[in-house]
Amino acid sequence: MTRFTITLQPVGRRIEVEPGVNLLEAAQRAGVEMVASCGGLGICSTCKVRIPHGKVTPPTETELEELGKEQIAAGYRLACQTEPLEDVRVDIPRESLVAGQMLQLDGREGEVALDPPVKGIDLELEPPSLEDLRSDVARVDSALAAQGLGPLKSGPGLLGRLSQHLRRSGWRARIAVRPEDGASALVSVLPHGARLAGLAMDLGSTKLAIFLVDLESGAILAQAGVMNPQISYGEDVVSRIAYANRGEENRKQLQARLVETINQTLAEFCEREGICADQVVDVVAVGNTAMHHLFCGLPVEPLGAAPYTPVVSEALHFAASELGLRVAEGARVYLPPNIAGYVGADHVAALLATRSYTADGHTSIVVDIGTNTEISLLHGGRVLSCSCASGPAFEGAHIRDGMRAAPGAIERVHISGGAVRPVTIAAQPPVGICGSGILNAVAELLEASALDERGVLRPGAPRVRQANGKAEFLLVPAAETGHGRDIVVTRKDVNEIQLAKGAIRAGIEILLREGGIGAEDVDDFIIAGAFGTHLDLQSALRVGMFPRLPLERYHQVGNAAGVGARQMLLSRRQRDEAARLTRRVEYIELTTYPDFTPTFVDQMYFAS
């Protein structure tokens, strides 16, 4: 049977499919998760791709309608509407990839020279004889010395495995070693020529981005975005901290659940890639300070009460076995330094990954939006950072009909006059509003003049009604929803967005003030993280969450923290760089900043 090879870029995956399979399905089969809000019906244009090489089926009417002739002429198509007619190359724009897969930063991701802390050494040794009574370890040490490496350093467990492997495999083996302090710490014992992989993780409060990376090519072998299982113990880190502080057992449970999920994901990766746990020889994890502590099983009492200091903000480097990670026996976990109580190593990793935007001379802002939003201003060699409590509204929490980004969630809405056109994830009947949806709805309500600058719904505007004496906007009537109840935007929902965007904008303004510059001096405004990638920039600007700059200065870079974690997995220099970067940071504690409250209150209003 004829089969076509589909090359998916920039993720670098290849898959063969039979004729009649559309490109969206091909991508899904290849394990590349694309945004496809309407579930392949061709009505949301979120699966837009470009076909630079190869013949495909002609554009459908749906495509002509959704994309327009100009885009189609430029090679753009909807993946769900297009079938290959020969081998084709498909370029997937960043916005069509789900968060975990947005790894390329506009081609501007600094090339990281491969210099992983763990190296593979192939051994071919002479067996002992009466003329050569040296120990097995002495033989290996000679081979290491020939490569300029120090003698083996190991506990007996791994040494025993090494000895047995050598003696059973004709004195051939590959060892993974970590050069340190003039010695070579033994990490794993593998068959001659075996591949070495590493695990990089961005541990978000909600989602874990997990990457399996080939340490010798730098290629991503597998990746996944999985739910953080700690969610069942508390939606946000504050409630998880409270849970953990109710007893040692609770804390251990949170840690164990997280590690279990990571182990499961890794086991799936390994099975798919034909790799065994012993080949996973290094681990880098980044996360906010709370996730960092919960992952390590560190006490979180200090994070739960004033003055909210961490147990440790310095880099940690310790045996992966201490956490129960099922990787090579001698593998270690590297956790880069945290900046301060609420600015974690994930932000350090994001700064590292976006260095091409933030090089000295450039003035940049890097913002990572979440329940806590971390913001850094890089200007004139300085790095000013702060964290603001933006709350969980952007995760759909504390919103009347809010929900997480899941099928049936309204993620975009077009409001004009009395007409409302919602777009839901997977084109399911609407059941609620996710973070980007509520932000978009508020912006549309402002545009439609249904909302004033103080956040008050205008009485008399179309669809604005009173319920229990409070104003609300009817977004979707019960008859059109998936659950048969009205979906509304309440005054309180709007206020939650005001609090969130006000906090973020206040943080930005205070950093600019401390840096002695104006917003117009910012060359690059980098929006990192999952929510930041999905948010509608125009909406964010309309509500005043970010200062208004020429559009080309904004960059929605996806999971920069994950990119930074991978860079630290692949390069000792990047680890050093992360440490240097952290030391340079001037942290501004907003809760005690004299001018914070007035700035925050100012920024809660919407610009008219």
Binding footprint of its own copies on the chain (CB under 8 A): 128-130, 133-138, 141, 151-157, 159-160, 163-164, 167, 180-181, 296-299, 301-302, 306-314, 316-319, 322-323, 340-341, 589, 592
Q: In what order do the strands lie in the sheet with 152-153?
A: 119-124, 172-180, 183-190, 152-153
Nearest residue to 349 via CA among 532, 528, 561, 529: 561
- Among residues 581, 578, 574, 583, the alpha carbon closest in space to that of 198 is found at 574
Q: Do β-strands 364-368 and 524-528 pair in parallel, antiparallel, or remain unpaired?
A: parallel
* Smallest distance, its own copies to C-beta of residue 159, A: 6
CB 438 within 8 A of CB 415: no
State the nearest-atom distance from the C-beta of 391 to its own copies, in Å.
Answer: 22
CB atoms within 10 A of CB 95: 13
Nearer to its own copies, 136 or 368 (CB): 136
Rank residues 134 and 584 by Cβ distance to its own copies and give the closer one: 134
Residue type, 15: I
Q: Residue 341 CB, nearest distance to its own copies (Å)?
A: 7
Residue whose CB is less far from its own copies, 97 or 281: 281
Q: Which of 186, 177, 189, 195 is nearest to 270 (CA)?
A: 195
CB of 584 to its own copies, least distance (A): 16
- Residue 132 or 453: the one with the smaller Cβ distance to its own copies is 132
Output the smallest distance, CB 305 to its own copies, in A: 10
Q: Is 438 exposed, middle or buried (0-12, 13-18, 19+ CB in 10 A)?
A: buried
State the SS3 of 316-330: EEEEHHHHCCCCCCC
226 vs 312, beta carbon nearer its own copies: 312
Nearer to its own copies, 48 or 292 (CB): 292
Q: How far is the CB of 130 from its own copies (least distance, A)?
A: 5
Q: Which residues contact 540 (CB under 8 A, 6 or more apart)?
A: 439, 443, 501, 546
The distance of closest approach from Cβ of residue 528 to its own copies in the complex, given in angstroms and rounded to an integer, is 25
Of 136 and 496, which has the nearer Cβ to its own copies?
Answer: 136
CA separation for the pair 533, 340 (Å, rounded): 25
For residue 293, the minimal CB distance to its own copies (Å) is: 8
Q: Which residues contact 50 (CB under 8 A, 6 or more apart)?
A: 74, 75, 76, 77, 90, 91, 93
Q: Degrees (nearest 5) of the Cα angle 263, 268, 269? A: 95
Nearer to its own copies, 308 or 605 (CB): 308
